[in-house]
Amino acid sequence: VHRATRWEEAQRRDLPTYFVRGRRLEESSGAKDNAIHVCLTSDDTDLRGLVVTIRSAVASAREPGRFHFHVVTMETLVSLFKEALKRHLPGVHVSVRHNTQLQRRIQSFISFRETSRARRELVTPLNFAPFYLHEFLVSKKSGKVPAERIIYLDPDTVVLGDLAELQALDLQGHAVGAVKTCSQRLEDYVDFEALTGLGFSQYSPSDCIPQ
């Protein structure tokens, strides 16, 4: 996968709409037992990047009907997300989810360190939601998402390969797999003085951030 930071970059892919509304999507739509669950989180009302991420994932898949996308957002944005995603992604299985109580709990854990090099706009519960997917992907009505594995994507990504390969990837006993990038370091986001005070001393401020 490659990240698209601007809408124009995503548009260069010129992804055809028939990939998300035609025969190719319908051929494997009954494979519920073999479903691939993909989750994205966003509180951005500009949904173009989110749509491009989902559409490119579908367009790059050999069996797009296996995919079930879960979008986590704020309660106040659920109606907007549902309407827009239904209009721009016809035939794609997309669920929009929220959990206001959990979001408030995450917010209570967040503080912004003035010496941090992180962008202040990232200090939101939805930016930390990927760490709580096991709680967001549960509802009173439908219960827990029946998935042994969840693939998480940032909503500014253009997918150029088949995500089914990640679904089948052997994690060798690890709970999580991630791409490591050294463009950002732990010290950019983590208060190591506080971390040491909590008894965690095995981490280095210069360690790379997993994405």
pLDDT at position 116 is 63
pLDDT at position 211 is 64
pLDDT at position 8 is 43
Q: Is the CB of residue 69 less than 8 Å from the CB of residue 40? A: yes
> Taking Cα atoms as reference points, which of 147, 158, 197, 112 lies closest to residue 4?
158
pLDDT at position 118 is 62
pLDDT mean for each 10 residues of the chain (211 residues):
42 40 40 83 95 97 96 96 96 95 91 66 83 87 82 94 95 88 80 86 84 64
pLDDT at position 11 is 43
**Residue partners of 122: CB distance under 8 A and separation at least 6:** none
